[in-house]
Structure 1
Amino acid sequence: MAINTAPPRLEIRNLVCRFGGRTVVDDVSLTVQAGQVTCLLGPSGCGKSTTLRMIAGVEMQDSGEIYVDGKLVCDTVFRVPPERREIGLMFQDFALFPHLSVADNVAFGLKGAKEQKRERVEELLRKVDLIRHIDGFPHQLSGGEQQRVALARALAPRPRIMLMDEPFSGLDNRLRDGIRDETLAILKEEDAAVLLVTHEPEEAMRMADEIALMRRGKIVQQGAPYNVYTRPVDKAAVAFFSDVNVLQSQVNGALAQTPFGQFLAPGVPDGTDVEIVFRPQHVRLDFDRNGKGPLPTATDGVAARGVVERARFLGNESLIEFRMDYDGSILKATVPNVFVPNPGRVMWLTIRRDRCFVFPA
């Protein structure tokens, strides 16, 4: 099997950016291959968009280097102008020119003969299923259609890299999933390296080949979506993707004792306070049988008794909150479909051992 030895389409090394003495991007490094979608995922203000602006060339880094296909495009001395970096940009605001037709918007960044430009415009408008609107104007289009025109315009010059900053956040929820999928298919077909900024975990999981999770200017975890989700580096990484439940304990002999039984804590010194973190969907529910619950198992551990505090149906799953007998705390569980037990109902909870994460408190 042939080994790909080509350099990454995009590589950033040790980028740092400071505003007013505050470090907003702190030693960020990543690579994106041609045809790959990488998501910079994190809360607002964590440095995602600033990273994108430095790559685009509209913001200057304080230190670090940016490479395209192995060639330096920017450090703190040498700088290729933004318009010569062959980078496409898409933002939350589609920024279409209202006085230009759809065709002229898409053709805006193109060079060459009129016939060649028209051919490229028609090709892209067919891809985004808007050829019928080629002579229309932006105000005649829906939000989803305007987003697809903005995508066609960004792709028209055949950029080697596509930078996307929250491009779907202005769309109606009902449109968003379909347009994400259409956009992803077109980007893959064009073979651009894509760096997508989002604060929505679902969007990152849906679109990304790789996720770089950012927090306070740093990338704290990077990898395939499945690995980032199932092997989080800390409690905050778990909580960014879903609600969490937390049990407090202390390690003794590499074990943490809880009302749900013991949890393994290999390599953690005795006496260390730890938190056992788990998601609501990994709580298993069982009915009360004359004051008794299910027997302990190696997979699910010991059952703990709880009383239903509140239950709600959320559309594709139900969320049940329990007040636990052992300390009066609230634990959450989610189950598929409709299950809305009445408040006060006694149930027994167990936790999937292979879906729990033990972190120092």
Structure 2
Amino acid sequence: MTSSPALNSEPPRLEIRNIRRFFDGRAVVDDVSLQIRAGQVTCLLGPSGCGKSTTLRMIAGVEMQDEGEIYVDGKLICDTVYRVPPERREIGLMFQDFALFPHLSVADNVAFGLKGPREEKRARVEELLRKVSLDRYIDEYPHQLSGGEQQRVALARALAPRPRIMLMDEPFSGLDNRLRDGIRDETLSLLKEEDTAVLLVTHEPEEAMRMADEVALMRGGKIVQQGAPYNVYTRPVDKAAVAFFSDVNVIQARVDGALVQTPFGEFLAPGHADGTDVEIVFRPQHVRIDFDRNGSGPLPTATDGVPARATVVRARFLGNESLVEFRMDFDGAVLKATVPNVFLPEAGRVMWLTVPRNRCFVFPV
């Protein structure tokens, strides 16, 4: 029996190699490289101003890179000399403003980028509008649709010419929270069905985790970490990477004999020289809370370390979890803990906290 060739033997649908873009002598995109395969969704995630949208514009061809190369299916479409025009790149674009033509019907908006006989274009329009559940609005106009419906029309229009690549720049930010999750899921399903390679720009970690097969975390014009969402979340490269996805607690310490002393006992700090100042970083949801038993807490364990005594400062219910702030006896620092559902201990109550060792990250200051 002959085995089929591995999927990854084919060139990536989209590949960018070492692209740079300078404004006023400053690199706003600095040596960025990415590979995205057909049917794959990659999220370019980072704060505003880190170079995400500039990267998208260079791929789309509306802006020229100063260094680097861009390939589609292994073929060069742009370097610093050669440039395929944007309209010939077979790349679809979706932005947060849906940019529908107000004077055109839904059908004419979706058909705008299509070529060929009128009957074929109409069939493609009807097919896509059925897929986004808008076929009954085919003869309506954009102003007659809700924001979510307009977004789905914009998606259908972008997919109509069967682009090999879809670039999406904060496409869901204009939608209210009630609509956003459902429309994101519908969009993702349709893009997968069309086998489109997708590069989605967002500053929302939840959106990246929900939609992406791969996350590229961007900061200061560079990709600082890249991988599956689970790996980026659980194996962050630095404190800023941890903090981008959630609130954090930070304990300052100094290495002595490959160990650091904390309110929660000793932590291993391999690879850090003695005298190095480090930060032990952990998320509020990983703090474990136990009750005081006549001045004592739970026994120390190898996995959770030494319990630390703390006093409740305040507790708030946030809808699907409770946030409790504690003041540590050890040094007066305030630590946060989140607990599923309702947990609202009164201020001034003494409790004991532990943090699993495998949920903590040690970074040099």
Match of 2:56 in 1: 52
Deviation at 1:51, TM superposition (A): 0.1
Equivalent-residue separation in structure 2 for 1:334 and 1:302 (angstroms): 20
Match of 2:123 in 1: 119
Q: Deviations over 1:81-105 (max 9, x none)?
A: 0000000000000000000000000
One-letter code of the match for 1:128?
Answer: V
Match of 1:173 in 2: 177
SS in structure 1 at match of 2:103: coil
Matches within 5 A, 1:319-334: 319-334=323-338
Match of 2:65 in 1: 61
Deviation at 1:200, TM superposition (A): 0.1
Pairing 1:227–2:231 present: yes
Deviation at 1:255, TM superposition (A): 1.4
Pairing 1:210–2:214 present: yes
Equivalent-residue separation in structure 2 for 1:287 and 1:223 (angstroms): 39
SS in structure 1 at match of 2:255: strand
Equivalent-residue separation in structure 2 for 1:86 and 1:264 (angstroms): 52
Matches within 5 A, 1:144-163: 144-163=148-167
* Count of aligned residue pairs for this structure pair: 361
One-letter code of the match for 1:26?
Answer: D
Q: Deviations over 1:31-53 (max 9, x none)?
A: 00000000000000000000000
SS in structure 1 at match of 2:116: coil
Equivalent-residue separation in structure 1 for 2:267 and 2:6 (angstroms): 42
Deviation at 1:163, TM superposition (A): 0.1
Pairing 1:341–2:345 present: yes
SS in structure 2 at match of 1:88: strand
Question: Which of these residues, 91, 94, 100, is aligned with residue 95 of structure 2?
Answer: 91
Deviation at 1:3, TM superposition (A): 1.3
Match of 2:6 in 1: 3
Match of 1:201 in 2: 205
- Cα RMSD, aligned residues only: 0.6
Q: Which runs of 4+ in 1 moved over 3 A?
A: none
Matches within 5 A, 1:256-271: 256-271=260-275
Equivalent-residue separation in structure 2 for 1:41 and 1:20 (angstroms): 24
SS in structure 1 at match of 2:172: coil
Q: Deviations over 1:218-272 (max 9, x none)?
A: 0000000000000000000000000000011111222111110111111211111
Equivalent-residue separation in structure 2 for 1:195 and 1:267 (angstroms): 36
Match of 2:168 in 1: 164
> Which sections of structure 2, spanning at least 5 residues, go unmatched?
none
Question: Which of these residues, 136, 140, 143, is aligned with residue 139 of structure 1?
Answer: 143
Deviation at 1:283, TM superposition (A): 0.2
Pairing 1:254–2:258 present: yes
Match of 1:292 in 2: 296
Equivalent-residue separation in structure 1 for 2:161 and 2:118 (angstroms): 14
Deviation at 1:345, TM superposition (A): 0.8
Matches within 5 A, 1:26-41: 26-41=30-45
Match of 1:312 in 2: 316
Question: Which of these residues, 184, 194, 198, is aligned with residue 190 of structure 1?
Answer: 194
Deviation at 1:164, TM superposition (A): 0.1
Match of 2:306 in 1: 302
SS in structure 1 at match of 2:302: coil
Equivalent-residue separation in structure 2 for 1:330 and 1:97 (angstroms): 53
Equivalent-residue separation in structure 1 for 2:108 and 2:266 (angstroms): 66
One-letter code of the match for 1:27?
Answer: D
Q: Taking every aligned residue pair, what percent have the same amino acid on both sides?
A: 84
Q: Deviations over 1:99-147 (max 9, x none)?
A: 0000000000000000000000000000000000000000000000000
Deviates more, 1:202-211 or 1:245-254: 245-254
One-letter code of the match for 1:210?
Answer: E
Q: Deviations over 1:47-94 (max 9, x none)?
A: 000000000000110111000000000000000000000000000000
Compute the TM-score of the two structures, normalised by the length of structure 1: 0.99
One-letter code of the match for 1:38?
Answer: T
One-letter code of the match for 1:14?
Answer: N
Equivalent-residue separation in structure 1 for 2:183 and 2:154 (angstroms): 12
Equivalent-residue separation in structure 1 for 2:119 and 2:53 (angstroms): 36
